[in-house]
């Protein structure tokens, strides 16, 4: 019955990952005909440099009321998003053409040089309307490709052209209150959102379900716009042809910007308006491939577990069936893991570091599982910018309690109940991973500051992150440590000899086996890893959190199994130094992920330009890999610890 429930949940998560739903609170905005629609601008982005820049760092038109920041959350700022108002504005269901926006000042040498650089680096302009990014369609060899945003300009025959005319298409749908009630998915939603004719709801309203843009390079007559003000009608016809470019930009010459907008009624339902973004070029998830890989890995892992459990069980059963005299004789002829009974729980080298790393691993693993679970259930949809990062930070801080508790309790277990030094271990657990992360991010931030990128974390946000760390995360970790010190330590089932047993010479170095063990967990990850990397570095939308949750559950199972098998193999060859080896048996998957990251940089991000961009990429990869190593290593260590404790408490040896 339990397994049936798990399969139902699995199918539900996979279904939801493909057909996302909207939670209460994210209902559509109703616009009446003629209501003002404001377009916002996000940072300029490029997959060539991975460094975002402010939209207004280039000589574009600025709004008459001045540039204002939109409300942002912590996650948006950390991701380098800078959402600001723009001069583009529409009236709901009112088609407008030949709208003059502005004429820039004469391009200075610096502005001209910067524009050329940004065009060479393939920077994209990202516009947002009603929380929908502008989407652009291109047709090549009969295939339609979708892209978010549009390029600043294009280089053709050593001349640079800026896209100075934008043709917008806004897809709208009639606002239907009853549909909203159904979307909310609650039985009493109709009462919450009345669908009757009260309150002026008989006035027709529309909701935005699509936002498309076609950029053009057109020739404008500078003399015609001298006396024009923003939003005046351009006096001459504008032909928007995407296949041709007309006026190259030149130093000491201004650029004239214009736009047009057309509204079109669409049959796209409001909950499905993000579907176009989830079918981006190259990001189509190969469902069959992922499922096939998951089933093969589950099958392999099952075989390993069955064989392994049968071997140990047979060993124990055979021993228990013997009478006392035969047991005594067998004890004299002990072989394999039974020989290390007096050393198996001998304290490892650097015990405090092991406790700290396991504590931090529990914190990172907990954060990952909870965040992905919430994302799979739709709480962190792509429509809510920055919520994923904000959620991860929140869960990480709260789980400081778990980190402190696990680290200190393990410390006391290794010390056979000794309370001495628990506060030091809890304090170090609170500072170990965040300290390394802070060091990496500070170095990368200086690189971004030097490049004047919006990806750089502002100083004020740095202060906020430090306050969150020292005022919330550290105290919670110390509280967890206090509870860990009060909790009873885990008692070992066997005594440890005073003199350590000599480990026989091995045919192969044990660390070679440990490093090779990471290949199996990597096998569960690598297909999903491609889509995650594409989402982070290629600007694609990642939304299949249901699959990611399943992959993560499988990863946890495989990490535990791999570590168990390796620990058992080491004990069988009388190697009792299993503590660190069990941690790195599953933690070594991080090495393969880092190698995959380097491979991705060389073969998939071939166009990544400049040493700064490559340093940023490798720095963020190192940060990600460290977190993965701590989380997977912790799974391996805790499962091996449970197994060794269970194994030696199941059989009584003198």
**pLDDT, tens only, 483-509:** 999 998 888 888 877 777 777 777 777
For residue 3, is pLDDT > 50? no
* Interatomic CA distance for residues 523 and 592, integer angstroms: 10
Please determine, for residue 304, whether its predicted confidence score (pLDDT) is greater than 60.
Answer: yes
Say what the pLDDT of residue 301 is.
72
Confidence class of residue 609 from pLDDT cuts 50, 70 and 90? Answer: low
Question: Please, which pLDDT band fits residue 510 given cuts at 50, 70 and 90?
Answer: confident
Provide long-range contacts, Cβ within 8 A and 24+ apart, for 445-454: 447/612, 447/615, 447/616, 448/51, 448/616, 450/612, 451/51, 451/612, 452/53, 452/57, 453/51, 453/52, 453/53, 453/80, 454/43, 454/52, 454/53, 454/54, 454/80, 454/81, 454/82
Model confidence pLDDT, tens digit, residues 511-539: 888 888 888 888 878 777 887 888 788 76
Biggest CA pair distance of the chain: 110
Q: Residue 302 pLDDT more than 90? A: no
Pairwise CA distance, residues 118 & 133, whole Å: 21
> What is the C-alpha separation between 3 and 642, in angstroms, rounded?
24
Q: Is 585 helix (H, G, I), strand (E, B) or coil?
A: helix
Q: Which two tokens stand for residue 196?
A: 């009757």
Summarize the confidence of residues 314-326 as an average pLDDT: 62
pLDDT of 62 strictly over 90: yes
Of the given ranges (5-14, 148-157, 290-299), which has the lowest mean pLDDT? 5-14
Residues 6 or more apart whose CB falls under 8 angstroms from that of 552 comprise: 368, 369, 372
- Is residue 14 within 8 A of residue 549, CB to CB? The reply is no
C-alpha distances in Å from residue 544, one per residue of 309, 398, 451, 549, 557: 34, 26, 34, 9, 21
pLDDT of residue 325: 57
pLDDT band at 4 (very low <50, low <70, confident <90, very high): very low
308 vs 644 pLDDT, higher one: 644
pLDDT at site 393: 93
- Mean of pLDDT over the chain: 82
Mean pLDDT of 70-80: 76
Query: What was the pLDDT predicted at 334?
Result: 52
| Res 554: pLDDT | 82
pLDDT of residue 200: 44
CA dihedral 276→282→285→286, nearest 10 degrees, is 140
Average pLDDT over residues 601-609: 77
> How distant, in Å, are the alpha carbons of 57, 105, 257 from that of 62?
11, 12, 11
- Looking at residue 224, the DSSP 8-state letter turns out to be G
**CA pseudo-torsion sign 315, 318, 321, 324:** negative
* CA proximity to 491, closest of 417, 579, 392: 417
**Percent of the chain whose predicted confidence (pLDDT) is above 70:** 82
Report the range out of 231-240, 362-371, 541-550, 551-560 with the highest average pLDDT. 362-371
The span from the CA of 26 to the CA of 381, in Å, is 10
């Amino acid at each position: 019955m339990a397994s049936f429930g798990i399969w139902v949940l699995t199918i539900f998560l996979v279904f939801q990952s493909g057909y996302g739903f909207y939670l209460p609170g994210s209902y559509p905005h109703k616009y009446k005909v003629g209501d003002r629609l404001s377009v916002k601008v996000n940072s300029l982005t490029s997959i060539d440099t991975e460094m975002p820049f402010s939209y207004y760092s280039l000589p574009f038109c600025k709004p008459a009321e001045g540039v204002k920041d939109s409300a942002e959350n912590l996650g948006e700022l950390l991701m380098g998003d800078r959402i600001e108002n723009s001069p583009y504005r529409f009236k709901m269901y009112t088609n407008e053409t030949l709208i003059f926006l502005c004429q820039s000042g004469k391009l200075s040498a610096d502005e001209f040089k910067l524009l050329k650089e940004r065009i060479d680096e393939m920077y994209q302009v990202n516009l947002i309307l009603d929380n929908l990014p502008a989407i652009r369609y291109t047709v090549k060899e009969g295939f339609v490709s979708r892209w978010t945003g549009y390029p600043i300009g294009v280089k053709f025959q050593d001349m640079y052209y800026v896209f100075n005319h934008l043709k917008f298409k806004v897809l709208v749908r009639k606002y239907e209150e009853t549909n909203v009630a159904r979307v909310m998915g609650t039985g009493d939603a109709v009462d919450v959102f009345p669908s009757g004719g009260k309150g002026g709801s008989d006035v027709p309203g529309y909701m935005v379900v699509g936002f498309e843009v076609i950029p053009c390079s057109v020739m404008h007559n500078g003399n015609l716009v001298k006396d024009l003000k923003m939003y005046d009608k351009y006096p001459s016809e504008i032909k928007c042809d995407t296949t041709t470019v007309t006026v190259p930009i030149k130093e000491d010459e201004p650029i004239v910007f214009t736009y047009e907008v057309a509204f079109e009624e669409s049959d796209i339902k409001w909950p499905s308006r993000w579907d176009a973004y989830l079918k981006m070029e190259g990001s189509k998830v190969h469902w069959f491939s992922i499922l096939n890989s998951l089933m093969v890995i589950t099958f392999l892992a099952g075989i390993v577990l069955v064989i392994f459990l049968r071997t140990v069980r047979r060993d124990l059963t055979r021993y228990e069936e013997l009478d006392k005299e035969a047991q005594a004789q067998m004890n004299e002829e002990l072989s394999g893991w039974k020989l290390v009974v007096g050393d198996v729980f001998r304290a490892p080298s650097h015990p405090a570091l092991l406790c700290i790393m396991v504590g931090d691993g529990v914190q990172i693993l907990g954060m990952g599982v909870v965040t992905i679970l919430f994302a799979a259930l739709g709480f962190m949809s792509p429509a809510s910018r920055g919520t994923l990062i904000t959620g991860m930070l929140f869960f990480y801080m709260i789980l400081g309690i778990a980190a402190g508790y696990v680290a200190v309790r393990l410390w006391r277990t290794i010390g056979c109940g000794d309370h001495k030094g628990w506060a030091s271990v809890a304090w170090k657990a609170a500072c170990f991973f965040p300290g390394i992360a802070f060091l990496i991010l500070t170095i990368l931030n200086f690189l971004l500051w030097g490049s004047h990128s919006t990806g750089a974390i502002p100083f004020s946000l740095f202060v906020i992150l430090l306050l969150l760390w020292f005022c919330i995360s550290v105290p919670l970790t110390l509280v967890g440590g206090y509870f860990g010190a009060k909790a009873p330590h885990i008692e070992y089932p066997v005594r440890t000899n005073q003199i350590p047993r000599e480990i026989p010479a091995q045919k192969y170095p044990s660390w070679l086996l440990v490093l090779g063990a990471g290949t199996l967990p990597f096998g569960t990850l690598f297909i999903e890893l491609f889509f995650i990397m594409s989402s982070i570095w290629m600007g694609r939308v990642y939304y299949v959190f249901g699959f990611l949750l399943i992959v993560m559950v499988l990863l946890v199972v495989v990490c535990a199994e791999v570590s168990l098998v390796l620990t058992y193999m080491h004990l069988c060859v009388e190697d009792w130094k299993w503590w660190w080896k069990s941690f790195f048996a599953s933690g070594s998957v991080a090495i393969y992920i880092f190698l995959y990251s380097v491979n991705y940089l060389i073969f998939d991000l071939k166009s990544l330009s400049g040493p700064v961009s490559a340093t940023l990429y490798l720095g963020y990869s190192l940060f990600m890999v460290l977190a993965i190593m701590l989380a997977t290593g912790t799974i391996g260590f805790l499962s091996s610890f449970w197994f060794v404790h269970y194994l030696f408490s199941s059989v009584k040896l003198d």
